[in-house]
Chains A and B, each alone.
Chain A
Amino acid sequence: MAAGAGEVSATGGEGSGVKIQVLGMGCPRCKVLYAEAAKAVKASGVDGELQKVETIEGIMAYRVMATPALVVDGEVKCVGRVPPFKEIVAWLASAAATRAGTGGSRP
């Protein structure tokens, strides 16, 4: 999909993990979301790559108007609030499943 900074492609290579980005310029809730996302990556067992996006250009590339925001594989999942932990885990799992699905179609 074309949304996003152009640095992330949803189809991704087989080797790389699910790309999780926390958008926010360092507000307290952005830090909370980052910590929750880190916990979720661990708990879900998904091969994930967690990243902070703290520049205004990087944040605006996703066209969000509130922070913190959570982006999984280039898709904005959540804007302006810290979602429940279980929800983050579910997003990671579904992103991983999507990847496995595209990968599995090959021999």
Chain B
Amino acid sequence: MARLGGCNPRRDRREPSVSHHHRRALYAVAALLGAAAWWLVYRSLEPFGQWLAYRILGLGRGGRAGSAVAFFAFEAPKVLMLLAVVVFGVGVVRSFFTPERTRAILAGRRESVGNVLAALLGVVTPFCSCSAVPLFIGFVTTGVPLGVTFSFLIAAPMINEIALVLLFGLFGWKVALLYAGTGLVIAIAAGWVIGRLKLERWVEPWVYATASGPAAAGADAPLTWGDRAAFGREAVKDIVGKVWPYVLAGIAVGAAIHGYVPQDFMASFMGKGAWWSVPLAVLIGVPMYSNAAGIIPIVQALLEKGAALGTVLAFMMSVIGLSLPETIILRKVLTVPLIATFVGVVAAGILVVGYVFNLVL
């Protein structure tokens, strides 16, 4: 009997049938209608928020409570809707990338090009920091240079789709783009620096002795669009199902700040004028660990109270890009000097980004 490999739930059931084309057309129509409905609802959220706050609850226009409620009733569904769509899209995109395929692209690359590719692939390849060790070994033992591997390992957690959506939803596309762009630059530059330093001798010696090679699983089996959509749906169920309370809490905090806290509250000690605020933000952020959904409310609070954007970005990146649990996991394959170099180089990159943005913007 046929052996099934991989994880694809439907591959074995795909049989040619007369109704196949009809079903495909039906799916396309349903997807189109769904997208149209999504767009209509999304567009009417802002009037809905105002209608709820001012008409139904009868709160005064321009008052504190009114603007807080209107903010929450608009932002909460908006961010959740955006999140669902983006997580679905990212799930579908990630179904095209597996660690095996990424490794095949990166193996034997020259460093500069390899660093750029690795950082980009780090964004789209499915990755969880608990898999960092098998991934690291799988990469370096099959000819992916150490610095290129680091570019991947830095970009993967740093550029987070949830953070990207929340930043876009709450602060607009410029801030979201800045975050993604600077994250990529840090991952590329830090990986390149680590590669130049030739630190292979600081990898735990047994790593290079590990037998490695192509995976045994049939991970490259062809997927149908239905399978990819299933990937996306699963990602939505998994991620949105987990982070929605954080998102709501974050927006509630944001709403309260929006309505009640005076402007420029933070400006004196996290504004552009305070030169020490960027290193302080990084120093506080590196040992802190939070998921992206949990950090955004803090980002929002800081920005609304007048903190400088560069300082806030530096804080956020050092929290989600460098985490204590991940470095502890990586300690299994890296010696302490290499971990220290890794954290130091990435932190330095974040520092530079913070200063540059405070200077330019």
- Which A residues fall within an 8 A CB radius of B? 3-4, 24-25, 27-30, 56-57, 59-67, 69, 75-81, 83-84, 86-87, 90-91, 94, 97-98, 101
Contact = CB atoms under 8 A, between A and B. Distances in A.
Contact of A78 (B7, B100, B133): B7
20 contacts: A24-B130, A27-B130, A28-B130, A29-B130, A56-B332, A56-B333, A57-B210, A59-B134, A60-B211, A60-B212, A62-B215, A64-B138, A66-B131, A78-B217, A79-B7, A81-B7, A81-B234, A94-B3, A94-B4, A101-B1
Contacts of A30: 130
Contacts of B103: 65
Interface string B124-140: 00111011011101110
B4 A76 contact: no
Given A77-B5, A84-B9, A94-B4, A63 B214 contact: yes
A20 B133 CA distance: 22
Given A64-B215, A79-B215, A94-B3, 8 more contacts: A56-B137, A57-B210, A75-B216, A77-B6, A79-B219, A81-B7, A83-B7, A83-B9
Contact of B134 (A28, A60, A78, A97): A60
Q: Is the interface of B mostly helix, strand, loop or mixed?
A: loop
A62 B216 CA distance: 7
Interface residues of B, number: 35
A75 B130 contact: no
B4 A91 contact: yes
Given A56-B134, A65-B134, A80-B126, A87 B7 contact: yes
Contacts of B130: 24-25, 27-30, 67
Contacts of B213: 63
Given A56-B133, A80-B126, A65 B215 contact: yes
A30 B98 CA distance: 18
A65 B103 CA distance: 10
